[in-house]
Structure 1
Amino acid sequence: MHAVGIVAAAGSGLRLGADLPKALVPLAGRPLVAWAVDTLRAGGAAEVVVAVPPERRTEFAAALPGVRLVDGGATRTASVRAALAAVTGPGCPPVDAVLVHDAARPLTPPDVVARVLRALAAGARAVVPVLPVVDTTVVVDGQGIVTDAVPRATLRRVQTPQGFDRRTLEDAYDALPDGVELTDDAAVVRAAGVPVQTVKGDERAAKITVAHDLALAELQAVRA
Structure 2
Amino acid sequence: MSAPVNFTAPFHALIVAAGTGQRAGGGVPKQYRLLAGKPVLRRTVDAFAGTPGLQSITVVIGAGQEADCASALSGIETLTVVPGGASRQESVRNGLEDLTRRLGDAAEAAVVLIHDAARPFATPRMIQSVSETAHRAGAALPALPVVDTLKSAAADGTVAATVPRAGLHRAQTPQGFRLGAILAAHRAADPAQEATDDAMLAELAGLPITLVPGEETNVKLTTEADFAAAEQRLSVARETRTGMGFDVHRLVTGDHLWLCGIRIDHDQTLLGHSDADVGLHAITDAILGALGDGDIGQHFPPSDPQWKGAPSDAFLRHAATLAARRDAKILHVDATLICEAPKVGPHRAAMRARVADILGLSKDRVSIKATTTEKLGFTGRGEGIACQAVATLSLPPYEDESE
Query: Which letter does structure 1 place at the counterpart of 2:62?
Result: P
Deviation readout 1:140-187 (Å, 9 max, x if unpaired) = 121122111112231111111000011110110111023331100000
Cα displacement string for residues 31-73 of structure 1 (whole angstroms, at most 9, x for unaligned residues): 1111111222223321111111121112201211323111111
* Aligned residue in 1 for 2:219: 206
Structure 1 partner of 2:113 = 99
The 1:26–1:90 alpha-carbon spacing in structure 2 relative to 1, beyond 3 Å, is: closer
Match of 2:330 in 1: none
**2:73 aligned partner:** 64
**1:13 aligned partner:** 21
Alignment of 1:145-224 (within 5 A): 145-222=158-235, 223=237, 224=396
Letter paired with 1:16:
A
Partners of 1:129 and 1:199 within 8 A in 2 = yes
Superimposed CA distance per residue, residues 106-164 of structure 1 (whole angstroms, 9 cap, x where no aligned partner): 01111110110111222x12111011212221111211221111122311111110000
Q: 1:93 to 1:152 in 2, by over 3 A?
A: same
Distance 2:12 2:183 in 1: 13
**Whose radius of gyration is greater, 1 or 2?**
2
Does structure 1 residue 55 correspond to structure 2 residue 69?
A: no
Percent pairwise identity: 36
Higher strand share: 2
Task: Using the TM superposition, name which of 176-185 and 90-99 deviates more.
Answer: 90-99
Deviates more, 1:91-100 or 1:147-156: 91-100
Q: Gaps (5+ residues) in structure 1?
A: none
Residue number in structure 2 paired with 1:144: 157
Higher relative contact order (CA 8 A, sep 6+): 1
On the 8 A contact 1:97/1:163 being kept in 2, the answer is yes
The range that moved more, 148-157 or 88-97, is 88-97
The 3 A distance-change label for structure 1 pair 15 and 3 is: same
Unaligned runs of 5+ in 2: 1-8, 238-395, 397-403
Conserved 8 A contact 2:12-2:113: yes
Q: What residue number does 1:127 align with? A: 140
1:91 offset after TM fit, Å? 6.0
Give the partner amino acid of 2:128. A
Amino acid corresponding to residue 156 of structure 2 in structure 1:
Q
Corresponding residue number in structure 1 for 2:322: none
TM-score by length of 2: 0.53
Provide closer, same or farther for how the CA distance between residues 217 and 132 of structure 1 changes in structure 2, counting only shifts above 3 A. same
1:49 and 1:83 in contact (8 A); partners too? yes
Matched, 1:85 2:94: no
Q: Secondary structure at the match of 1:195?
A: coil
Partner amino acid, structure 2, of 1:47 = S
Q: Would the aligned equivalents of 2:112 and 2:177 in 1 still touch at CA under 8 Å?
A: yes
Distance change >3 Å, CA 39–CA 91, structure 1 → 2? closer
CA deviations on 1:68-116 (whole Å, 9 max, x unpaired) are 1111112100110111111101664724101000111101111110110
Tell me whether 1:113 sits opposite 2:122 in the alignment. no
Output the amino acid matched with 1:144.
Answer: G
Cα distance in 1 for residues equivalent to 2:95 and 2:102: 14
Aligned partners of 1:153, 1:41: CA distance in 2, in Å? 36
What one-letter code is carried by the residue in structure 2 that aligns with 1:41?
Answer: A
* Root-mean-square deviation over aligned CA pairs: 1.6
Q: Secondary structure at the match of 1:173?
A: helix
> 1:160-217: CA deviations, max 9, x gaps?
1000011110110111023331100000110111121100011110111101111111
Give the distance between the partners of 2:41 and 2:198, measured in 1 at CA. Answer: 19
